Amino acid sequence: MRRLAGLLVVPLLLLTTAACGSDDKGSDSASMKNGLPAITAGEKFGEKPTLAKGAGDPVKSLKVNVISEGKGAVTKKGDALQVNYLGQAWDSTTPFDNSFDRKQPFELTLGAGQVIKGWDQGLEGQKVGSRIEIGIPPELGYGANGQGDIKPNATLVFVVDILKAVTIPKSATGTEVAQENKDLPKVGTNTDGKAPSLTVPKSAAPTKLVSNYVLESKGEVVKATDTVVVNYVAALWKDGKVFDSTYTTGKPANFPLDQLTLKGLKDGIAGKKVGSRVLIVAPPSEAFGDQEKQGIPKNSTLVFAVDILAKM
């Protein structure tokens, strides 16, 4: 399903949204290095790079050059990564996007399909602390459709600094917390990585936000500015029908809390401990209010069972 995630988070590049332009110019030089456009300035890890324009025929398959190798863990599928990047089309001298100017690293779960295929493949097996350059042919980028400022069938070049990698557990864990209020939903306490049960009572929905531990871990407390990696089941209070679940695809969601547009979910996660399972009930005033959203009726009370798997 995964309908909900697209409604909750302000979209960024590399997913399905238009790229953000940049006024910075790359070099006019046609110089190449190891088959990819050379970095003509800002070559060190952490520095904003400048890329030369590609010369000759673009790469026909994925190509990854390690500019400088870090000393951290090797990235693997399922890891939550934090990176800085600059992206430019092969035949361009102007970057179409970069995180360095925003001073806000980008987070993704590797191999979860949250980014273009060239990223999922190119970032796997690299060491944390590395700077890499990736040449991405169209079929592993935006293909024949293009994206925003990115033309159809464009070959892309990225310089990526791998800042952090976190291994994602399969489930929340911790001490079971009694669920004694018969007027609130009951959430399963399984820790096998499968979706927990979520049973909504027939009683009237609460009018204020509910955020209760189901499993309480000993992890760090989540701040409202953190990015968290979560699994969740989401249901309507009215009929208990599940309308979204990350367990359906087996791919956790990355939620930058300061970009969540659903206030009840943001406030329900902030202040809770990483590794915990939380019941969140968001009344309409803390959800989508009097607006219908992709089949979610207006004035709906929403119920979530959320596993806070990691924070970046």
Q: Give pLDDT tens digits for 267-294.
A: 999 999 999 999 999 999 999 999 999 8
Band of pLDDT at residue 8, cut at 50, 70 and 90 = low
Q: What is the pLDDT of residue 177?
A: 98
Instruction: Report long-range pairs for 5-8 (Cβ below 8 Å, ≥24 apart).
Output: 5/244, 5/246, 5/253, 7/261, 7/262, 7/288, 7/293, 7/294, 8/255, 8/260, 8/261, 8/262, 8/265
- Give the list of residues 6+ apart from residue 36 with CB closer than 8 angstroms, or none: 54, 59, 63, 65, 133, 135, 157
* For range 230-235, the mean pLDDT: 97
Contact present, 132 and 65 (Cβ < 8 Å): yes
Q: Is pLDDT above 50 for 248?
A: yes
Q: Is pLDDT above 70 for 82?
A: yes
Summarised one tens digit per residue, pLDDT across range 11-67 is: 444 543 333 333 333 333 457 999 999 999 999 999 999 999 999 999 999 999 999
Band of pLDDT at residue 6, cut at 50, 70 and 90 = low
Diameter over CA atoms, the chain: 70
Q: What is the pLDDT of residue 61?
A: 97
Q: Is pLDDT above 50 for 10?
A: no
Written as six digits, the tokens of 2 are 């995964």
The kind and range of the H/E element at 141 are: none
**Measured distance CA(97)–CA(88) in Å, rounded:** 7
User: Could you tell me what percent of the chain has a pLDDT over 70?
Assistant: 90
Handedness of CA 187, 193, 195, 197 (dihedral sign): negative
